[in-house]
Amino acid sequence: MATQKELEAKILLDPNYSKKDKGLFKIAIDFAKKVLINKKRISGDTLFDHNLRAGLYLQSIKAAPEVVSAGIVHATSKYVPERDLHDAFGKFGKDILHLVQGVEDITVIKNKNLKLTAEALRKILLATVKDVRIILVKLADKLDNLADVDVLPIDEQKRICQEVLDMYAPLAYRLGVDKFKVLLEDRAFKILNNEDYNKVSLFLEHSKQDRDSLIIDLISDIKRGLKALQVHSIKGRSKHIYSIYKKFIDRGVPLERQYDHQAIRIIVDSERECYETLGFLHEKYEPISGRLKDYIANQKPNGYQSIHTCILYKDKRVEVQIRTKEMDEVAEEGLAAHWRYKGVKGEAQFERRMGLFKGVLDLHKDSSAREFLENVSVDLFTDEIYVYTPKGDVKYFPQGAGVLDFAYSVHEQVGSRAIGARVNGQFVPLRTKLNAGDVIEIITAKNQVPGRGWLKWVKSPRAKQKIRKSLKEHKGLPAMRYSTFKPATQTEYDTLVYSIQFENAVCVIAKCCKPIPPMKIAGIVTKRRLISVHDVNCRQALKLQERWVPVQWKEQYNKALKFSVMAEERSGLLADLLHTIANARFEVREAKAKLVNTNRSECSFVIVPQSLERVVELIGRVMKVKGVKTVFFD
């Protein structure tokens, strides 16, 4: 364990901070030493040592200077008389005192309720909402406490570690501080389930040599192919122990059958080069179907941006993350990283992300304790989508949210009186799910009241709570709880066309003419009882006009769409197409390329569409890419 002098030196020599910052750190260190040097912890070291280590944890995520300083002095306030606090912290300024008092507020509330009921959790979170930076300091404090939690009685160890997994690790995730999340989870897991922790650890240790050799070879192979790009670094990365264990528990995948422990991260210079790198990887190696995630075009609510894919190399699955240097800093350090970009890229995005976390808490003030705990768990773990109001304002919802979630976000009365909505100009029923980028307008009626079935159609805690409240008022009975079941896996893709006359019929695009929107189309009932969809000018279709049935292009889609592009073979084709699709703000789930002949390539994509209008727009953009001949849908 490092000595006090070594800890102080590390803080004061950190190259990421200015001379002025280090001057503030020196004042904080001297003050903490004066107050805490003789205060012993149960582990045997002093509170001063603990505070220094908390400061170092905050420096490791490049937190703002005032946050690091608050970490260094965070345990001092309870040893300074309240009447002297402002004088004692005068040399730091009100900001640091505010952060320190916020951390102490959490401790006081917890000590009043060691069993950590839902009410206590609510108070703790609402205490921190005043300033998200307080949470960062508390996470650093908790991380250092976990390092020597084994000196406590076993029951106390278990309680603290369960609290970490239930509360603090999710907070770290929500703020995007992956470095803290990993440490918190692995340290807590080691105490809570030492046997399984050791099993996973030994498995990783035994397979380390083979993994390292594979990654070294792959990195060398990729570097040779990416010479033209400004690649900052390519490095292997290990999945942490708790995440591997969770995969076993959640999905039932044994350790020996988890093939994605191998992973690399590629850091490039620009967003465009991210897509060029993805194109190179999918052309050179076989991509694993269904594993492409574009978090650059579809940024996570905690600020995370990256492209994820999975490829086969030497018959082994390797996960690949592609991002810029700035994206990497945000991914590793979370919201703490953004203080460095203030004045460079503006504070609007940073403030919106802070607001996301605060919004999680405000909407639960009227809910019961049990509902609050359930809802916070949902909010902390769920990815979000964004949609627009008719005026262009952005609203954020959990993945899978629907029209009613939007309605209740506008106002409780708007939600309760909703009878439908216009999504991108098209009328849709209340059960309709939202897609990223939708423009939503709610339609209401004065005599409308919520139905019990509405609870099945909403995802957001606010909507659930308001519907339950309304049901109690109208019925005088407690609202029924609906269990949320995981939907069955569906591999089928959506189709572009439907038949009004035969609602349940399967419509397939004819291979002879391969019509695309917005062409005029006709359906022909085949002997296999399918409806084959043709261009109305197709020669084959014109021969069978007596068998035509009316068909239409779908306005909305419930599943992903698969489409292909035929183009002249050239270097960078797939990358250019991916970049075009990403610029059109479509989520890409799969991307593949194959050589049809020496001069022609076929690139296939699985996308998540929002509307027919957007599909038509995408076709227009893709057709402008150099060398593209045709676009067709399967």
User: Is the per-residue pLDDT at 250 higher than 90?
Assistant: no
pLDDT value for 475: 58
Per-residue burial over 327-345, b if 16 or more Cβ lie within 10 Å, else e, is: bbbbbbbbbbbbbbeeeee
- Contact partners, residue 245, CB within 8 Å, separation at least 6: 189, 193, 196, 197, 200
429 strand-pairing partners: none
CB < 8 Å & 24+ apart, contacts of 287-296:
287/311, 287/312, 287/590, 287/591, 287/592, 288/312, 288/317, 289/590, 290/589, 290/590, 291/319, 292/588, 292/589, 292/590, 292/591, 293/589, 294/582, 294/587, 294/588, 296/271, 296/323, 296/327, 296/582
User: Is the per-residue pLDDT at 437 higher than 90?
Assistant: no
**CA proximity to 268, closest of 294, 231, 295, 237:** 231
Q: Which of 3-7, 485-489, 558-562 has the lowest mean pLDDT?
A: 485-489
pLDDT value for 529: 67
Give the CATH H-level superfamily of domain 195-341: Beta Polymerase, domain 2 (3.30.460.10)
Per-residue burial over 514-537, b if 16 or more Cβ lie within 10 Å, else e, is: bbbbeeebbbbbeeeeebbbbbee
pLDDT value for 125: 55
pLDDT value for 295: 86
Q: Which amino acid is at 177?
A: V
CA dihedral (579, 581, 582, 583) in degrees, to 10, reads 80
The Cα–Cα gap between 349 and 356 comes to 11
* Phi then psi dihedrals of residue 312, to 5 deg: -100, 130
Domains 382-475 and 490-494+554-634 equal at CATH topology level = no
Helix axes of 194-225 and 271-284: crossing angle, nearest 10 degrees: 90
The Cα–Cα gap between 314 and 311 comes to 10
**CA proximity to 174, closest of 401, 354, 370:** 354
User: Is the per-residue pLDDT at 123 higher than 70?
Assistant: no
Q: Which of 332-346, 434-448, 491-505 has the lowest mean pLDDT?
A: 332-346
Are 305 and 327 in contact, with CB atoms under 8 Å apart? Answer: yes
User: Is the per-residue pLDDT at 355 higher than 80?
Assistant: no
Percent of the chain whose predicted confidence (pLDDT) is above 70: 80
Per-residue burial over 368-397, b if 16 or more Cβ lie within 10 Å, else e, is: eeebbbbbbeebbeeebbebbeeeeeebbb
CB-count burial class (<10 Å; 0-12, 13-18, 19+) for 20: exposed
Per-residue burial over 448-480, b if 16 or more Cβ lie within 10 Å, else e, is: eebeeebbebbbbbbbbbbbbbbbeeeeeeebe
* Higher pLDDT pick, 132 / 535: 535
Which tokens sit at 88? 């004692």
- Residues belonging to the chain: 634
Strands (E), 515-575: 521-525, 531-535, 548-549, 552-553, 561-568
Match 């007596």 to its residue by tokens. 546
CATH (one of 3.10.20.30, 3.40.50.300, 3.40.50.150, 2.40.420.20) for 382-475: 3.10.20.30
Name the most confidently modeled range: 79-83, 85-89, 237-241, 317-321.
317-321
- Contact partners, residue 306, CB within 8 Å, separation at least 6: 295, 296, 321, 322, 323, 327, 331
In DSSP notation, 68-128 reads: HHHHHHTTSGGGS-GGGHHHHTTTT-HHHHHHHHHHHHHHHHHHH-TT--HHHHHHHHHHH
* Higher pLDDT pick, 240 / 55: 55
Are 405 and 374 in contact, with CB atoms under 8 Å apart? Answer: no
CA distances from 248 to 202, 208, 487 (A): 15, 19, 20
Kind and range of the H or E run holding 476: none
Percent of the chain whose predicted confidence (pLDDT) is above 90: 26
**CA proximity to 299, closest of 352, 340, 253:** 352
Q: pLDDT band at residue 159, thresholds of 50, 70 and 90? A: confident
User: Is the per-residue pLDDT at 421 higher than 80?
Assistant: yes
The Cα–Cα gap between 439 and 442 comes to 10
User: Is the per-residue pLDDT at 490 higher than 80?
Assistant: no
The Cα–Cα gap between 223 and 238 comes to 20
User: Is the per-residue pLDDT at 570 higher than 90?
Assistant: no
Strands 263-268 and 316-324: parallel
Report domain extents, the chain: 4-192, 195-341, 382-475, 490-494+554-634, 504-512+520-552
pLDDT value for 349: 46
In angstroms, what is the C-alpha Rg of the chain? 28
CA distances from 299 to 159, 228, 328, 436, 558 (A): 35, 27, 13, 11, 21
pLDDT value for 77: 86
- The CATH class, in words, for 490-494+554-634 is alpha beta
Q: pLDDT band at residue 244, thresholds of 50, 70 and 90? A: confident
Are 200 and 244 in contact, with CB atoms under 8 Å apart? Answer: yes
Summarize pLDDT for 41-83 with one digit per residue, the tens: 988 899 999 999 999 999 998 888 999 999 999 999 888 887 7
Fold of 4-192: Hypothetical protein af1432 (1.10.3210)
Cα–Cα–Cα angle for 32, 34, 35, rounded to 5 degrees: 65
Kind and range of the H or E run holding 250: helix 241-251
Which tokens sit at 120? 């206590």
3-state secondary structure of 150: helix
Region class of 594: left (phi > 0), else alpha (psi between -120 and 50), else beta:
beta
Summarize pLDDT for 300-354 with one digit per residue, the tens: 766 788 999 989 998 888 899 999 988 888 787 765 555 554 444 434 444 444 4
**pLDDT averaged over every residue in the chain:** 80
Q: Which of 98-102, 205-209, 241-245, 346-350 has the lowest mean pLDDT?
A: 346-350
Summarize pLDDT for 607-620 with one digit per residue, the tens: 888 788 888 999 99
Mean pLDDT of 105-122: 56
pLDDT value for 54: 96
